[in-house]
């Protein structure tokens, strides 16, 4: 299934389609410290490009931002968020959110991330209390009862 580059939200606003990747290994979650707005610690995420399917975007974004290969994925939910903005000036995003298994070696993408590392729940909670988690990831970690 392909999605258009821009769609219309339930309320008729311009909307982007995006993918999020929850990557967990041995009880730790892979987070980057974002180098582009919105800032904060976040999982791997990005826009679905023109002509792409969400699954293709997922595999591409994970590779670009982490150097890792997606071996397995599962769509755990999809939802429209009308408070979630991006640096391209759009205020609504429709998210496809996946849980992924990955292989390979981490390679930081300097343009996207100040750092990339694995964080246990306890550390993610601390990031949340310190207001250092990016808003949409804070929302998802809570939604998934990880924090």
Residues that bind Zn ion (CB under 5 A): 16, 86, 88, 90
Burial of 12 (0-12, 13-18, 19+ CB in 10 A): exposed
Nearer to Zn ion, 9 or 53 (CB): 9
| CA distances for 1 relative to 4, 14, 46, 79, 102, angstroms | 10, 20, 17, 16, 23
* Closest CB 43 distance from Zn ion, rounded Å: 16
Structure tokens at 95: 């998210």
Nearer to Zn ion, 88 or 122 (CB): 88
* Closest CB 17 distance from Zn ion, rounded Å: 8
* Closest CB 128 distance from Zn ion, rounded Å: 23
* Closest CB 18 distance from Zn ion, rounded Å: 6
Nearer to Zn ion, 86 or 147 (CB): 86
Point out the residue whose Cβ comes nearest to Zn ion. 86
Nearer to Zn ion, 102 or 136 (CB): 136
Say if residues 87 and 71 touch (Cβ distance below 8 Å): no
Say if residues 11 and 82 touch (Cβ distance below 8 Å): yes
């Amino acid at each position: 299934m392909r999605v258009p580059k821009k769609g219309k939200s339930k309320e008729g606003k311009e909307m982007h389609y995006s993918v999020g990747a929850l990557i967990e290994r041995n009880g730790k979650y892979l987070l980057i410290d974002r180098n582009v707005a919105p800032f904060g610690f976040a999982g791997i995420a990005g826009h679905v490009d023109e002509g792409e399917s969400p699954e293709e975007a997922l595999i591409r974004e994970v590779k670009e931002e982490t150097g890792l290969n997606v071996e397995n994925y599962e769509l755990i939910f999809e939802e429209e968020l009308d408070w979630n903005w991006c640096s391209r000036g759009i205020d609504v995003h429709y998210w496809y959110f996946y849980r992924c298994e990955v292989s390979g070696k981490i390679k930081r993408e300097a343009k996207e991330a100040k750092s990339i590392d694995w964080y246990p729940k306890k550390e993610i909670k601390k990031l949340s209390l310190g207001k250092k988690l990016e808003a949409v990831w804070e929302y998802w970690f809570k939604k998934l009862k990880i924090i």
